[in-house]
């Protein structure tokens, strides 16, 4: 069974492929593996946004359902994840078209994480559809990226993308703002 350079030594294959591209020796390039790697780069950005959204949503759930444990660490994590998600979306704008799907997937994970971290019963944490959240008291905002919250319900009257910038989530009297 013969193995390709890609399978034998990925790093060496990547370096050689980059060299061949720079030398414009396109006929010598392992096109199939190169195409797979390029696709994987895009998929990794999507996975990173989903992962960051999962962390953000889990902390927002914890913030909402355990107000007595709110602290600087949770607040900093919420701010950090929002900033990084916004940055990733700014650098990869085509992912905004998939954002609702990514949020749904991330929310399923966040719900499990929040339940594990808080010890709350399953029925306490909203079901795997963020549209089902009924949030009543929302702080106001002046900017879409202010991350302070806005009037309205989560998912019912506003885009689910607002999770990221915080315009439609209610999690109590104090809302972590962006740095």
Residue 157 — very low, low, confident or very high, per pLDDT cuts 50/70/90? Answer: very low
For the stretch 78-123, pLDDT in tens is 889 999 999 999 999 999 888 888 988 899 899 999 999 889 888 8
pLDDT of residue 74: 87
Give the chain's domain count: 1
pLDDT of residue 54: 92
Give the HSE-up count for residue 45: Cα atoms under 13 Å, Cβ half-sphere: 18
Within a domain: residue 179?
A: no
Domain that holds residue 89: 10-118
Question: pLDDT digit string (tens) for 40-66?
Answer: 998 999 999 999 999 999 998 888 888
Residue 86 forms part of a structural domain: yes
pLDDT of residue 159: 47
The answer to whether position 128 is within a domain reads no
Residue closest to 139 by CA, chosen among 178, 179, 170, 176:
170
Among the residue ranges 84-88, 128-132, 153-157, 169-173, the one predicted with the least confidence is: 153-157
Residue 144 within any structural domain of the chain: no
pLDDT of residue 29: 96
Distances (CA, A) of 11 to 19, 44, 66: 12, 18, 46
Supply the mean pLDDT for the chain: 76
d(CA 120, CA 79): 24
Domain membership flag for residue 157:
no
Q: Where is pLDDT greater, at 73 or 139? A: 73
Residue 130 has pLDDT above 70, yes or no: no
Alpha helices in the chain (DSSP H): 5-8, 10-22, 31-65, 72-91, 99-118, 162-165
| pLDDT of amino acid 126 | 79
**Using an 8 Å Cβ cutoff, are 97 and 89 in contact?**
no
Kindly report the length of the chain. Answer: 179
Q: Is residue 168 domain-resident? A: no
The pLDDT assigned to 128 comes to 64
Tell me the average pLDDT across 8-15. Answer: 94
* Domain-embedded: residue 90: yes
In a domain, residue 174? The reply is no
Highest mean pLDDT among 11-20, 66-75, 137-146: 11-20
Closest CA to 178 of 82, 60, 50: 82
């Amino acid at each position: 069974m013969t193995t390709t350079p890609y399978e034998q030594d990925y790093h060496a294959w990547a370096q050689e492929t980059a060299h061949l591209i720079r030398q414009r020796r396109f006929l010598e390039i392992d096109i199939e593996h190169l195409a797979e790697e390029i696709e994987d780069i895009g998929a990794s950005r999507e996975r990173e946004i989903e992962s960051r959204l999962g962390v953000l949503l889990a902390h927002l759930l914890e913030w909402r359902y355990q107000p007595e444990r709110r602290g600087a660490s949770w607040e900093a994590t919420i701010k950090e994840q929002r900033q990084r998600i916004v940055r990733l979306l700014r650098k990869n704008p085509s992912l905004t078209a998939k954002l609702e799907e990514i949020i749904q997937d991330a929310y399923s994970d966040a719900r499990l994480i929040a339940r594990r971290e808080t010890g709350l019963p399953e029925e306490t944490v909203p079901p795997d559809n963020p549209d089902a959240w009924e949030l009543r008291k929302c702080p106001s905002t002046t900017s879409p990226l202010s991350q302070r919250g806005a009037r309205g319900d989560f998912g019912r009257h506003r885009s689910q993308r607002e999770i990221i910038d915080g315009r439609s989530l209610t999690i109590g009297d104090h809302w972590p703002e962006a740095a």
